[in-house]
Every structure is written in structure tokens, then in C-alpha cells.
Amino acid sequence: MTDIDVTGAELAESLEAVGETEPLVQALTNEVTMNDVANLILHWGALPVMADSPGDAGEMAEAASAVLVNTGQVPDGKIDAMHEAVETANERGIPVVLDPVGVGSTPTRESVAEGLLSAAEFSIIKGNYGEISALAGVEAQVKGVESVGDYDEIERAARSLSDSTGAIVVASGVEDVVADADSAYRLAAGHEMLGEVVGTGCMLGATLAAFGGAVDDEHAAALHGTLAFGLAGERAAEMDYAGPASYRTNFHDAVYGFAADATADGDRDLEFDLEHRVERIV
């Protein structure tokens, strides 16, 4: 991986790029989190479209700037739609983000993810520690869609998966890891309340698709998108909240605030202190 500039100024520029270009993000995601995914794409300044049925999925990918494939639910029709969308995206050379939700928990989910990976190329693969380890062929514990257990070698697993797929890999956890085949960055941003809200992992996938559709360098899109997501989680915790439901609302508002600040006339009202937040491991 070429060294990516992760200064506050570069992060603000990526945020601004999303708002200015308004990329159309086609999201094939699960019904549990569909509304949150659509809203978060919109709050970053991108345009969401949830075209996930056979026929329509491939046609919509003809106009999209990025495609998000989330395997949280895998009925046959949706699997067919996923293949249509990613095939069209690959033909057009637009970025595709894979979020292999729950892979490692059932053979069916593993089969769906492996089928997608064998049929298409992905720009970014995002999963929790357990999902990324399972895809990399490393022992993992995934209970339902949650990662459990210890993952001391997560950087190595992420690099291995990147090497076998050619994608930038984002492994989300207490600290997030962004890796390619040769190197890995560890990011310290976020808040524990993100883990108390169903769907924040899906929303991170949506964030990466929004950034991927606007930022030409997929490495920068993955790093900046992951950082922005974590920082929004911290900002949400600075607002008053009574529990997970109000924190969830705060999080959406925090994302919207970042996007609004980045596209405001005049100087950007965004100052990010990233010292000690980004560490290149290898």
C-alpha cells in the first residue's frame, strides 16, 4: 500500500468530495438495516438507491457511482441481483464494497460470500474481526452476525485476505484495521455506544461505498471513510443521549453535521486532530 495521507486536511477534502460529487450509491443490503443504510449514505452527501431485485439491480448499476453488497440476508433472488450488480459494476470500472455479514456463522453465508468473491472483483471488503478472519481462512468465532473471541493476528488476516482478493480490507473492532497485501493501518476512532446499536457495521459499509464513489484512490477512501465514521461516533457521544435509541439519532445527526460543514461556503469548519489515531503497523 502506498502511504496514504491521513491528515485532518486530507480527511476534510474527502468529506468535501462526497458532498460535491453526490455519488449515486446502489445498496443491496438487508431489510433489518436498510433504512439506516439509506439515510447514512444521504447524510454523508451521497445519493442512495436500494435496487436489489433481479433485472433492476443490473440496470441500476449502469448509472451508479458505487455499489454496496451486504449479505445480511441471502434469499435466492437477492443473490442473483447481487451478481448482476457487481458484474455490471466491474464492467464499468466502478468501485464495489462487499460487507459479508455473518460469514463464518453458517455454511450458507460462507457459500454466498465465496461465490461473490470468485465471480467478481471488489474494491473494498469490510467486516468485523471474525468475518474478516473467516474469509481469510483463519480460525474465527462468529455468533450470528457478531464477532466473538480474540484476534491477536487480525492485521495478518486482513493482509492475507487482501492478497487473495486484491481488495482493500477494513476489519472493524475496538480499533479498526485497514490493510492491503503489504501493509496495515490501525485506526483509533469511535465510541463504545456504536456497539449498542444494531446496524452500525452495515452503516460503516455504506460509508465506505459513499467515499469510494467520490474519492478516486480506494486506499484513501477506505482510510478516510473509516476514520470519519469513528469520529462521528465520538461526536454523537458528546451530545445528550439517554441510551442506544437516542445515541443512534445523534450518530445520524453527527454524520449530517460533518457533511454540512465540509460543503459549507468559505472555509471548512472541520478541524481533525488525528495525532495518535493512525498507526501504520507494517
**Residue 56: inside a domain:** yes
Helical H runs in the chain? 8-21, 34-44, 56-61, 76-92, 107-119, 129-135, 154-165, 200-212, 218-238, 244-262
What residues make up the domain containing 231? 8-280
Q: What is the pLDDT of residues 53-109, one digit of tens each?
A: 999 999 999 999 999 999 998 888 999 999 999 999 999 999 999 999 989 888 998
Residue 1 lies in a domain: no
Number of independent structural domains in the chain: 1
pLDDT of 274 reads 82
User: Within a domain: residue 255?
Assistant: yes
**172 annotated as a binding-site residue:** yes
Domain containing residue 178: CATH number:
3.40.1190.20
Q: Of 186, 185, 226, whose CA–CA distance to 206 is shortest?
A: 226
Mean local confidence (pLDDT), 20-35: 96
Q: How far does the chain reach from its first CA to its final CA, in angstroms?
A: 10
Gap between the Cα atoms of 3 and 159, Å rounded: 15
130 is in an annotated binding site: no
Q: Which of 102, 123, 128 is nearest to 180 (CA)?
A: 123
In a domain, 49, yes or no: yes
Answer yes or no: is 271 within a domain: yes
143 is in an annotated binding site: no
What is the residue type of 261? D
Q: CA nearest 101: which of 223, 200, 224?
A: 200
Q: pLDDT (tens digit, 9 = 90+) per residue, 248-280?
A: 999 999 999 987 777 665 444 566 778 788 988
For residue 19, tell me if it sits in a domain.
yes
Would you give the DSSP letter of residue 224? H
Q: Are 197 and 248 in contact (CB under 8 A)?
A: yes
Residue 203 among known ligand-binding residues: no
Q: Cα–Cα–Cα angle for 181, 65, 228, nearest 5°?
A: 60
Residue 139: helix, strand or coil by DSSP? Answer: coil
Burial of 91 (0-12, 13-18, 19+ CB in 10 A): exposed
Domain membership flag for residue 3? no
230-256 tens-digit pLDDT: 999 999 999 999 999 999 999 999 999
Q: What is the mean pLDDT of residues 208-228?
A: 96
